[in-house]
Amino acid sequence: MSDEFLMKNLDSALQKRPSYKGEVYRVLEINSEQEMNSFYETFEIGEERAFEEYLSSSTEWGYNDNANVFIKIISTNGKDIRVFNESESEVLFRRDSAFHIVDKMRDGNKVYIIMEETK
């Protein structure tokens, strides 16, 4: 099966799932300071940022003990897929979802970002 076939099927399945409205969280672990700097600079407060890929998030905050990037997302149309794996509490954003960057902060090797879904 091609990636394109899989993506079209996932897109179709996500359209059938209910939207999740509320706060969700995405955490990442970035170990390279250069990668962290580059990542941080791609988020500009007040601007909109679109993601070409699917973006995974959780309704639960602390699911990665090694995380040093913490993103709070205010979801309006993320797709609730918790029914498929309740332990992950996953809300999945479709490809090309866009977000307004509300705020960002860096504290040593930790990054905090707040985004609001716009598309």
Take residue 27 and report the two structure tokens written for it: 């955490």
Domain that holds residue 82: 3-117
The total number of structural domains in the chain stands at: 1
Contact 50, 98 (CB under 8 A): yes
Chain-centre distance for alpha carbon 62? 14
**What CATH number does residue 44 fall under?**
3.90.176.10
Q: Would the pLDDT of 97 be above 80?
A: yes
- Provide the pLDDT confidence category of residue 87 given band limits of 50, 70 and 90: confident
The pLDDT > 90 percentage for the chain reads: 72
Q: Note the pTM of the prediction, 2 decimals.
A: 0.90
